[in-house]
């Protein structure tokens, strides 16, 4: 009996470089390894903590200045004829509605185009076509927004909006369409990933039951990918809300805007309003509450995106088909 | 062409037909010189065999010999793979399955398929079974059809109280029986099964095997299996495939022998079959 045991010991010793470890120490593992693991863990924790701290700091700064604004502003100014922060008119409706109008127009453009492109690429295109088209979509996603702003102002506005309606050269519709074009590749790319993540076995099951391609897409692939599709649309809306350049260039109203619901007229979004304010910061600093209003609008934006994400999350959890 | 026209009533065939006539009418699939290429290379070539009504036909052989490929050419699932090319003759009730007038979608409604891994939709149990009938618009009495299909698949008693629950809550064996119920719900003529038990435990496997034997009174079944005991237990006829390696090193599946299962397993005519059966190869 004794010999096999001692032989096992010697194998263990050999495995540990002959440092004479007994079998019970083997269970404890190599202390150097464990120390290294602890260091890695510490580093990763520090990284995570830093991220959280920076986030919290930003939100606190935002809330602090926004609070200054809210406590100092005259409430009648928050509900006046327009958004002219340097003249102490802070009609929040103007820029919130402007944001909603432009993001809405953008999604009216980007949803059908983006989903259509994604469904085509993932379900209909041959592998060869996809190999050519997919990178093009991804390149489109990288177009600088200045380019699209210019395009919206000089092409979409005269050739689309003004051809169909009598509209101001600077108008929210052109800006919205421009933002929509900007957001489309993003929506398409994220949706396509979601569709491609649906297992082939589900498509096979559907075809095996005598479903046509359209039926398979509608009844199997899209429902299975719904959480990804909603995520794509939410990303699209967030991007549309956050987009500044196209709006600043094509929607006009750089200094401020009257409350305006007509998309054929110039308008202002929250981000564009912030940019307009931030240009020439001496003036911002000099004129009353204009500087603080930046933070207030920022906080509002933050809240909007947060609510959007929560709604999206709820929706996804309710309708998701897990696979 | 509807299923009713192509499918003779089993009783009338058994009672009235002469043996020869019966023999001819009973052939569901007639394969002759079937080859399937993926791109340039033949995955399987020169397959000839007949699948008969109300029988279980087993396709056996080592992995990669083209069993799944042959099976998928019987309901034109290979059409979904762009590089797959089918040549040779596949007749279904005397009709060229790859003829110009044939709609692959119609083919798949009559020839159901059960896959290797259970692949229920991420929907409720009810919606899984109702999927085919809803698409084929044969859903006048959907509740009845769902129940009947689940009963046929011997799953009803286990799921009758939770039809609206997700199919993913079921065990693997239950999921596979659900997939069988789902295939049955479109009232197919043939069931193709590609290693339907390979992902299941022995007890679930046994249940599926019992189910197959029960179903063959209504359907013709073609099953791929690499479990030889399974082929011996359930099938009436067995096709043994093997892999032929060319001088260039490319592997192509060929049909070695096709016969009554009893004969294949007790007295095969080809020594390769015997080697495989007795476990000397593969
Ligand atoms: N979609 C496909 N594309 C290319 N080659 C394939 C494809 N499916 C199967 N093959 C090849 O065809 C041969 C036969 O495969 P398969 O029919 O799956 O064999 P089995 O089911 O007998 O294991 C294998 O060499 C396999 O690599
Ligand atoms: Mg296979």
Written as one string, the DSSP assignment of A66-101 is HHHHHHHS-GGGGGSSEEEGGGTEE-HHHHHHHHHH
Provide the residue count of chain A: 323
Interface of A with B in 185-224 (CB under 8 A): 199, 201-212, 215, 219-220, 223-224
B130 part of a folded domain: yes
Joined together, the tokens standing for residue A312 give: 């999206």
Residues of B in contact with A126 (CB under 8 A): 82
Band the pLDDT of B240: cuts 50, 70, 90: very high
Higher confidence at residue A277 or residue A143?
A143
B138 part of a folded domain: yes
Residue A22 has pLDDT above 80, yes or no: no
B1 part of a folded domain: no
Q: Quote the pLDDT of residue A31.
A: 86
Q: Quote the pLDDT of residue A249.
A: 87
Query: B235: domain range?
Result: 13-277
Of B69, B222, B244, B256, the residue with max ligand 1 atoms within 8 A of its CB, to mutate for a pocket test, comes to: B69
Q: Quote the pLDDT of residue B237.
A: 96
Q: Quote the pLDDT of residue A78.
A: 84
CA of B115 to the centre of ligand 2 (A): 10
Residue B11 has pLDDT above 50, yes or no: no
Give the model confidence (pLDDT) of B90-128 as tens digits. Answer: 999 999 999 999 999 999 999 999 999 999 999 999 999
Percent of chain B scoring above 90 in pLDDT: 78
Interchain CB distance below 8 Å, B183 and A209? yes
Please name the helix (run of DSSP H) or strand (run of DSSP E) that holds residue A220, with its range, or none. none
Average pLDDT score, chain A: 86
Higher confidence at residue A282 or residue A82?
A82
Number of domains chain B is built from: 1
Q: Contact B193/A217 with Cβ under 8 angstroms? A: no
Q: Quote the pLDDT of residue A30.
A: 84
Residue B269 has pLDDT above 50, yes or no: yes
Provide the residue count of chain B: 282
Do strands B237-245 and B251-260 pair parallel, antiparallel, or not at all (unpaired)? antiparallel
One-character DSSP codes across A19-85: ----HHHHHH--HHHHHHHHHHHHHHHHHHHHHHHHHHHHHHHHHHHHHHHHHHS-GGGGGSSEEEG
DSSP letter at B124? B
Residue B22 has pLDDT above 60, yes or no: no
As a whole number, mean pLDDT of residues B30-52 equals: 95
Determine the Cα–Cα distance for residues B127 and B118; give it in Å rounded to an integer.
16
Determine the Cα–Cα distance for residues B20 and B9; give it in Å rounded to an integer.
17
Q: Quote the pLDDT of residue A314.
A: 80
Q: Quote the pLDDT of residue A23.
A: 53
Higher confidence at residue B104 or residue B8?
B104
CA of B68 to the centre of ligand 2 (A): 4
Higher confidence at residue B182 or residue B14?
B182
Cα–Cα–Cα angle for A193, A194, A196, rounded to 5 degrees: 65
Q: Quote the pLDDT of residue B281.
A: 57
Q: What is the ipTM for the molecules in this complex?
A: 0.88
Residue whose CA is at the smallest distance from ligand 1 atom 11 = B43
Range with the poorest average pLDDT among A34-43, A241-250, A279-288, B135-144: A279-288
Average pLDDT score, chain B: 89
As a whole number, mean pLDDT of residues B215-234 equals: 93
Q: Quote the pLDDT of residue B10.
A: 41
- Nearest-atom number in ligand 1 for the CA of B67 is 22
Residue A240 has pLDDT above 70, yes or no: yes
Band the pLDDT of A280: cuts 50, 70, 90: low
Q: Write the residue in A205, A210, A322 that is nearest to B105 by C-beta.
A: A210
C-beta of B63 in contact with ligand 1 (< 6 A):
yes
Cα–Cα–Cα angle for B151, B157, B163, rounded to 5 degrees: 85
Band the pLDDT of A19: cuts 50, 70, 90: low
| Separation in Å, CA of B215 to nearest CA in chain A | 18
The domain segmentation of chain A, as residue ranges, is 7-72, 76-319
Q: Which residue has the tokens 């010793």?
A: A13
Give the model confidence (pLDDT) of A208-237 as tens digits. Answer: 999 999 999 999 999 999 988 998 999 899
CA A32 to chain centre: 43
Residue whose CA is at the smallest distance from ligand 1 atom 1 = B81
Instruction: Give the number of other CB atoms < 10 A from CB of residue A169.
Output: 14
Q: Quote the pLDDT of residue A24.
A: 57
Band the pLDDT of B21: cuts 50, 70, 90: very low
Q: pTM of the full predicted structure?
A: 0.81
Contacts (Cβ under 8 Å, ≥6 apart) of B162: B125, B169
Of B40, B41, B64, the residue with max ligand 1 atoms within 8 A of its CB, to mutate for a pocket test, comes to: B64
DSSP letter at B224? E
Give the model confidence (pLDDT) of A49-75 as tens digits. Answer: 999 999 999 999 999 999 999 998 888
Residue B262 has pLDDT above 90, yes or no: yes
Whether the CB of A322 is below 8 Å from some CB of chain B: the reply is yes
The CATH code of the domain that includes B110 is 3.40.50.300
Residue A17 has pLDDT above 60, yes or no: no
Contacts (Cβ under 8 Å, ≥6 apart) of B87: B33, B34, B35, B36, B37
Interchain CB distance below 8 Å, A207 and B80? yes
**The domain made up of A76-319 is a member of CATH 3.30.110.40:** no
B90 part of a folded domain: yes
Dihedral sign (CA A122, A126, A131, A133): negative
Residue B208 has pLDDT above 70, yes or no: yes
C-beta of B65 in contact with ligand 1 (< 6 A):
yes
B190 part of a folded domain: yes
């Amino acid at each position: 009996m004794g010999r096999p045991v001692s032989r096992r010991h010697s194998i263990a010793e050999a495995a540990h470089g002959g440092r004479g470890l007994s079998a019970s120490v083997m269970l404890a593992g190599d202390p150097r390894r464990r120390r290294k693991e602890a260091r890695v863990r510490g580093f990763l924790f520090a990284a995570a903590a830093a991220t959280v701290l920076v986030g919290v700091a930003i939100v606190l700064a935002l809330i602090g200045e926004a609070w200054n604004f809210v406590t100092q502003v005259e409430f009648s100014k928050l509900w006046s004829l327009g958004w002219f922060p340097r003249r102490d008119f802070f009609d929040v409706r103007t820029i919130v509605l402007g944001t909603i109008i432009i993001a809405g127009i953008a999604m009216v453009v980007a949803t059908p185009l983006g989903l259509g492109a994604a469904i085509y690429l993932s379900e209909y295109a041959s592998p060869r076509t996809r190999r050519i088209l997919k990178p093009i979509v991804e390149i489109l996603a990288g177009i600088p927004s200045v380019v699209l702003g210019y395009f919206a102002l000089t092409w979409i506005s005269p050739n689309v909006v003004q051809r169909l309606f009598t509209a101001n050269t600077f108008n929210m519709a052109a800006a919205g369409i421009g933002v929509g074009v900007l957001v489309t590749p993003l929506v398409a790319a994220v949706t396509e990933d979601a569709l491609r993540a649906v297992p082939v076995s589900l498509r096979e099951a559907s075809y095996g039951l005598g479903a046509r391609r359209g039926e398979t897409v509608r009844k199997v692939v899209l429902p299975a990918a719904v959480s990804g599709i909603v995520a794509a649309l939410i990303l699209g809306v967030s991007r549309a809300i956050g987009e500044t350049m196209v709006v600043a260039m094509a929607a006009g109203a750089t200094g401020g805007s009257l409350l305006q619901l007509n998309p054929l007229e110039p308008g202002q979004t929250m981000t564009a309003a912030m940019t307009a304010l931030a240009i020439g910061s001496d003036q911002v600093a000099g004129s009353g509450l204009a500087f603080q209003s930046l933070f207030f609008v920022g906080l509002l934006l933050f809240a909007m995106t947060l609510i959007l994400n929560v709604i999206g999350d709820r929706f996804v959890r309710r309708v998701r088909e897990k696979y | 062409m509807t299923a009713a026209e192509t499918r003779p009533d089993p009783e009338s065939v058994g009672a009235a037909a002469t043996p020869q006539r019966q023999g001819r009418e009973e052939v569901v699939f007639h394969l002759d010189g079937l080859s399937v290429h993926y791109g340039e290379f033949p995955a399987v070539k020169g397959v000839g065999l007949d699948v008969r009504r109300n029988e279980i036909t087993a396709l056996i052989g080592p992995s990669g010999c083209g069993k799944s490929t042959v099976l998928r050419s019987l309901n034109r699932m290979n059409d979904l793979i762009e590089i797959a090319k089918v040549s040779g003759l596949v007749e279904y009730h005397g009709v060229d399955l790859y003829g110009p007038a044939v709609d692959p979608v119609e083919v798949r409604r009559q020839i159901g398929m059960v896959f290797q891994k259970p692949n229920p939709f991420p929907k409720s149990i009810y919606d899984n079974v109702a999927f085919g009938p809803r698409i084929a618009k044969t859903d006048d009495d959907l509740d009845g059809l769902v129940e009947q299909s689940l009963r046929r698949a011997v799953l009803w008693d286990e799921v009758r109280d939770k039809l609206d629950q997700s199919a993913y809550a079921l065990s693997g064996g239950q999921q596979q029986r659900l997939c069988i119920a789902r295939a049955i719900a479109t009232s197919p003529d043939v069931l193709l099964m590609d290693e339907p038990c390979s992902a299941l435990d022995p007890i679930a496997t046994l249940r599926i095997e019992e189910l197959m034997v029960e179903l063959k009174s209504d359907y013709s079944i073609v099953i791929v299996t690499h479990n030889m005991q399974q082929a011996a237990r359930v099938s009436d006829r067995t096709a043994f495939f093997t892999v032929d390696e060319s001088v260039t090193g490319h592997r192509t599946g060929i049909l070695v022998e096709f016969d009554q299962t009893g004969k294949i397993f007790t007295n095969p005519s080809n020594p390769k079959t015997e080697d495989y059966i007795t476990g000397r190869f593969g």
